[in-house]
Amino acid sequence: MASYDLIVIGAGPAGAAAAITAARGGASVAVFDKAKYGRDKVCGDGLTPRAVTALQELDIDLATTHTIDGLRMIAGKKVRELAWPQTSRFASHGAVWPRRELDKHLIDVAANAGAELVWEAEAVPVIENDVVTGVKVGDKTIAAKMVVIATGAQGKVARMLGAVRDEDEPFGLAIRSYAESPRHDDKHLEACLTLKDKNGTAVPGYGWMFPAGDGTVNIGVGALSTMKNFKKLNLNTLLDSYRALVQESWDIGPNLERPRAWRLPMSVKKRHGMGWVAIGDAAGLVNPMNGEGIDYGLESGMLAAQLFLDDPQTAHSRYDEQVGQRFDQFLRTGRRFSFLIGHPWILRSGLRVAVGTQSIANITLGVMGNLIDSETPGAAGKVLTVADKLLAVADPLLRKSRA
Ligand SMILES: Cc1cc2nc3c(=O)[nH]c(=O)nc-3n(C[C@H](O)[C@H](O)[C@H](O)COP(=O)(O)OP(=O)(O)OC[C@H]3O[C@@H](n4cnc5c(N)ncnc54)[C@H](O)[C@@H]3O)c2cc1C
């Protein structure tokens, strides 16, 4: 029976980050993905300075990506062009990197570091007395000291391990396509925060234009499950109405591919057990305030692998503890916030405040992007601390009164 130190199921950014870190650290690593090499992933392709920093930590060459200087936040007629917050912790710029290329680049780096890649191979964990001892691929069993679950938003593997979404917590859905635009090399991500459904009700979420610098823009919309009638929300219709809104200012051509939608998981009931850890989307690590998941995948992947290199025996429990210390409080606040903005009248008045002045909009960007430097937290850090406390007190009411 073949055996490895570490087996990674899933070759997205989370799995690749774990594989790169572990292979560079001298571990024997195998990565299985059920898709073909070069697969695409439905995404907005946007990288915040936080994600750029994570890629820099992995020593990834960003020279071919389209650099982004900040965010253009639009709420009704109000337009705020904001530079990324300058911190000592995060890079000074963001980027747009289409996922077909980003994911391929990352996994190639993992292969060059020594990880073995197996494509078109669905893997499931082998569980013996509650301990994951390896994976099963077809009729082959392959042993590993630890299995990293990087399988994305829910699925068979997550269900087998109980790493499922908490039904009481929110999640998101988003849809995207690509189109040509003369503004493809714009230096700002654009987010329209005042989306409305077909009945004119405010939708908690946003529409985006993310310029890729290659002649195209990524156009999409996303919404949170905390809104009333979420199940009836038609994302295709929402995207069409957003497209009509930006048609003139971006002079966009027809969709270059059929719009595709996917889930944004924002919670998980369990993210570790004996012999395994879950990272990235499989661990529910998506920022509820902006839908960002690439960074959280990269960070959790690097962390899991580093802890494994430090001590394979205790890596799973230390991972749970440390990933929790890094993200749980922020993500919990984000989920509470998403219940709040599920009420259209709170969303409308909140937005008026959030983009009311340039300095408040800057704080909004820092908080929503989790771009807070804990050493020098600044105004955004203080706002987040206060919001965290207030939302914690309001939590039972928020859940009871959910839209
Ligand atoms: C429309 C949309 C827009 C988004 N926009 C952004 C954005 O602009 N910026 C951002 O940061 N985030 C964005 N996100 C979120 C982001 O796409 C995810 O958070 C990110 O892809 C998570 O990476 P991952 O590696 O955890 O999982 P994935 O990228 O989903 O990779 C999982 C991999 O696991 C494989 N797999 C699954 N099960 C098995 C199995 N049993 N055996 C083998 N292989 C398996 C799959 O084939 C897949 O390749 C967006 C999401 C959506 C839906």
On whether both 320 and 295 belong to a single domain, the answer is yes
Q: What is the mean pLDDT of residues 338-358?
A: 90
At residue 1 the predicted structure's pLDDT band, cuts being 50, 70 and 90, is low
Q: How far apart are CA 299 and CA 51, in angstroms?
A: 8
122 lies in the same domain as 58: yes
Highest averaged pLDDT of the listed ranges 4-8, 86-90, 166-170, 335-339: 4-8
- Same domain for 185 and 245, yes or no, is yes
Does residue 154 fall inside a structural domain?
yes
| 82 in a structural domain | no
Q: What is the mean pLDDT of the chain?
A: 95
Output the CA 281–ligand 1 centroid distance in Å.
Answer: 6
pLDDT of amino acid 402:
75
For residue 92, what pLDDT is reported? 95
Name residue, tokens 């057990």: 273
End residue of a domain, out of 278, 302, 331: 331
CB 38 within 8 A of CB 100: yes
CATH of the domain at 296: 3.50.50.60
Q: Using H for helix, E for strand and C for coil, what is the string for 310-341?
A: HCCCCHHHHHHHHHHHHHHHHHHHHHHHHHHC
The mean-pLDDT minimum among 82-86, 118-122, 200-204, 387-391 falls in 387-391
Q: How confident is the model at residue 100 (pLDDT cuts 50, 70, 90)?
A: very high
In a domain, 78, yes or no: no
What does R_g of the chain's alpha carbons equal in angstroms? 21
CATH (domain of 254): 3.30.9
Considering the domain architecture, whether residues 194 and 315 belong to the same structural domain is answered as: no
Ligand 1 pocket, CB under 6 A: 9-15, 32-35, 39, 41-46, 51, 122-124, 150-152, 155-157, 174-176, 220, 262, 264, 280-282, 286, 291-295, 297
Same domain, 29 and 101: yes
Does the pLDDT value for residue 80 go beyond 90? yes
Q: If pLDDT is split at 50, 70 and 90, which confidence band does 176 have? A: very high
Give the sheet arrangement for strand 94-96, strand by strand: 46-47, 94-96, 66-68
Mean pLDDT of 234-249: 97
Residue 312 lies in a domain: yes
Cα of 382 to ligand 1 centre, how many Å? 32
Which residue's CA lies nearest to atom 48 of ligand 1? 10
CB 45 within 8 A of CB 102: yes
Based on the structure, what is the number of domains in the chain? 3
Domain assignment present for 84: no
Rounded to the nearest angstrom, the distance between the alpha carbon of 174 and the centre of ligand 1 is: 12
Domain boundary among 233, 263, 293: 263
Q: Separation of 77 CA from ligand 1 center, angstroms?
A: 33
| 347 is a domain residue | yes
In this predicted structure, the answer to whether residue 350 has a pLDDT above a threshold of 80 is: yes
Give the pLDDT mean for 85-95. Answer: 94
Do 108 and 133 lie in a common domain?
Answer: yes
**Is the domain of 107 the same as that of 34?**
yes
What atom of ligand 1 comes closest to residue 124's alpha carbon? 41
Tell me the torsion sign for CA atoms 141, 25, 31, 302: positive
* Residues 304, 384 within the same domain: no
Query: How much is the pLDDT for 202?
Result: 92
Q: What is the pTM of this model?
A: 0.97
CA of 44 to the centre of ligand 1 (A): 11
15 with 163, same domain: the answer is: yes
Q: Which domain holds residue 231?
A: 172-263
Does the pLDDT of residue 403 top 80, yes or no?
Answer: no
DSSP codes, 201-250: PBPSEEEEEEE-SSSEEEEEEEEETTSTTGGG--HHHHHHHHHHHHHHHH
pLDDT in tens, 20-41: 999 999 999 999 999 999 999 9
